[in-house]
Amino acid sequence: MMIELKPIGTIHTPYTELKGMPIQPAGAVGVRGTIDVFKEYRAGLKDLGGFSHIILLYHFHHSRGYDLEVVPFLDSHPRGLFATRAPKRPNPIGLSVVQLDRIEGGTLHIQNVDILDGTPLLDIKPYVPEFDRPTSIRTGWLEQARKDVKDHQADDRFR
Amino acid sequence: MMIELKPIGTIHTPYTELKGMPIQPAGAVGVRGTIDVFKEYRAGLKDLGGFSHIILLYHFHHSRGYDLEVVPFLDSHPRGLFATRAPKRPNPIGLSVVQLDRIEGGTLHIQNVDILDGTPLLDIKPYVPEFDRPTSIRTGWLEQARKDVKDHQADDRFR
């Protein structure tokens, strides 16, 4: 069974190439971008402006193929793909929580953006702490490495 | 441009019909489920066991079509679709943060599950606070309603 998706908009950011990009929103604090939502979907943006943060689902459109073990940016050991956020995945869907500054017509102004310019947007969901913020977290192999996440940038290993 | 996805596993839960389901993991505390990851993807589960929580992306496989305004479970007013978590969306992808209890072979034992039995799994990502947990949150129309989220269950409005 195949599932077919189609872009509902385009994400614009200062990052025109993978190399040098922040690897997650935490390393992209203050980086601004915009989202152009296609005309036929704009009515669905009503009421979204009241949310400070939104979850973007998007297509890792430069990813081709995948390996089930990868060496993540934050590590020097191969890790199981699903224990990482690497873009080359069986279903190349990216997820970022970004700050929503304002909406003008079909344009969303966002901040803390770790996404490549021109990325096709698939979905927008409101970020809701009761749904999305569990407590008593453990983060496995990332436990040490995550302290350094703000200082890391992408190289071209996931091209 | 169309994007094609294929399931990498199946999510099993106690919920065989939409009616009566919790509407989000916060209302599903203690509800257990399992995920069977298909054999060809299991090598990607390495290192995942160290994470207490995972983000599941899945196909809302019972959703057909969508409206750009919906009356959410938590409200009595029509809201813009992208300001809600309703399952009928242009790209019907669901997102839940669940607790990972343990992994046995290709089976993940999970908790706090708000997902329909038999749901096709598309991706697993580790939950990492630095990536996924913003601060200074506002939640717009949900601000009042979210206090009640634990007591709400689904009806059949999104069939």
Residue of A nearest to B39 (CA): A68
Residue A2: CB atoms within 10 A of its CB come to 8
Taking CB atoms and an 8 Å limit, are A91 and B120 in contact across chains?
Answer: no
A4 touches chain B (CB under 8 A): yes
Dist CA B152 CA A103 (whole Å): 30
Dist CA A35 CA A13 (whole Å): 9
The pLDDT assigned to A150 comes to 59
Structural contact between residues A85 and B128, judged by C-beta atoms closer than 8 angstroms: yes
Q: Which of B105, B119, B98, B138 is nearest to B16 (CA)?
A: B119
The pLDDT assigned to B83 comes to 95
B36 touches chain A (CB under 8 A): no
The pLDDT assigned to A131 comes to 82
Q: Which of B99, B111, B125 is nearest to B13 (CA)?
A: B111
Q: What is the 3-state secondary structure (H, E, C) of A45-101?
A: HCCHHHECEEEEEEECCCCCCCCCEECCCCCCCCEEHHHCCCCCCCCCEEEEEEEEE
Per-residue pLDDT averaged across A110-139, rounded? 90
The pLDDT assigned to B38 comes to 98
The pLDDT assigned to B138 comes to 85
Is the predicted pLDDT of residue A92 greater than 90, yes or no?
yes
pTM, 2 dp: 0.89
Q: What letter would DSSP give residue B79? A: E
Q: What is the band of A152 on the pLDDT scale with cuts at 50, 70, 90?
A: low
B25 touches chain A (CB under 8 A): yes
| A148 or A39: which leads in pLDDT | A39
The pLDDT assigned to B2 comes to 84
Structural contact between residues A114 and A14, judged by C-beta atoms closer than 8 angstroms: no
Q: How many CA atoms lie within 13 A of A128 on its CB side?
A: 29
B44 touches chain A (CB under 8 A): yes
| B30 or A52: which leads in pLDDT | A52
Dist CA B157 CA B135 (whole Å): 33
**Cβ burial A25-49 (10 Å sphere, 16+ → b, else e):** bbbbeebbbbbebeeebbebbbbbb
Among the partner residues A2, A55, A137, nearest to B95 by beta-carbon distance: A55
ipTM of the complex: 0.89
Residue range A136-149, pLDDT digits in tens: 788 888 777 666 66
B140 touches chain A (CB under 8 A): yes
Residues 79-118 of A with CB under 8 A from B: 79-85, 89-91, 93, 95, 97, 99, 112
Residue range A57-75, pLDDT digits in tens: 999 999 899 999 999 877 7
**DSSP labels for A88-141?**
--SS-EEEEEEEEEEEETTEEEEES----TTEEEEEEEE--HHHH--SS--BTT
Question: 3-state DSSP helix/strand/coil percent for chain B, to nearest 5?
Answer: 20, 35, 50
Q: What letter would DSSP give residue B129? A: H
Q: Measure Cα distances from A30 to A100, B17, B135 in Å.
A: 12, 43, 14
CA dihedral of A13, A14, A18, A24, whole degrees rounded to 10: -60
Structural contact between residues B5 and B94, judged by C-beta atoms closer than 8 angstroms: no
Is the predicted pLDDT of residue A26 greater than 70, yes or no?
no
Residue range B89-138, pLDDT digits in tens: 999 999 999 999 999 999 999 998 989 999 999 999 999 888 888 877 88
The pLDDT assigned to B92 comes to 96
Dist CA A96 CA A123 (whole Å): 11
The pLDDT assigned to A158 comes to 67
Residue range B2-32, pLDDT digits in tens: 899 999 999 999 998 877 777 666 677 889 9
